[in-house]
Amino acid sequence: MFKVSILKSAKSDLRDASDYYGAISKELKARFLTNFNNTLNQLKEIPYFQIRFDEFRLRQVKNFPVMIHYIINEEEKVIKVYGIRFAKSNPDSYPKI
């Protein structure tokens, strides 16, 4: 099983997405955070999704248009989350290594 490391920039992205859904309703924010955590737990078990750009893989948060941008470090068995973006975000805003 892999460990997950969320970089500081991704934590900021998560806060932004959480605040966005929280402004709509507290229940929606809670559902988003639950689904986000469930998605991370699934990644720990099965991290090998298609590489989309550079070394980055993307995984959608279930039922939300939010993508987790991550890289797998095989040697350390760590998934490093670099960004959490809305699916329709401009690719220029995607995280860089």
Residue 6 gets the label, from left (phi > 0), alpha (psi -120 to 50) or beta, of beta
pLDDT of residue 89: 53
pLDDT of residue 59: 95
- Residue 9 falls inside a structural domain: yes
pLDDT, tens digit, 9 for 90 and up, residues 45-72: 999 988 888 889 999 999 999 999 999 9
Provide the number of structural domains found in the chain. Answer: 1
- Residue 5: alpha-carbon gap to chain centroid: 11
**Cβ proximity of 60 and 53 under 8 Å:** no
Q: Which structural domain range is residue 41 located in?
A: 3-89
- Residue 7 falls inside a structural domain: yes
- Residue 52 falls inside a structural domain: yes
- Residue 95 falls inside a structural domain: no
- Residue 96 falls inside a structural domain: no
- Residue 21 falls inside a structural domain: yes
If the chain, 97 residues long, is cut into consecutive pieces of 10 residues, what is the mean pLDDT of each piece? 96 96 97 98 93 90 95 95 80 54
Location of structure tokens 């939010």 = 66
Q: Specify the CATH number for the domain of residue 64.
A: 3.30.2310.20
- Residue 37 falls inside a structural domain: yes
The CB density around residue 40, as the number of other CB atoms within 10 Å, is 17
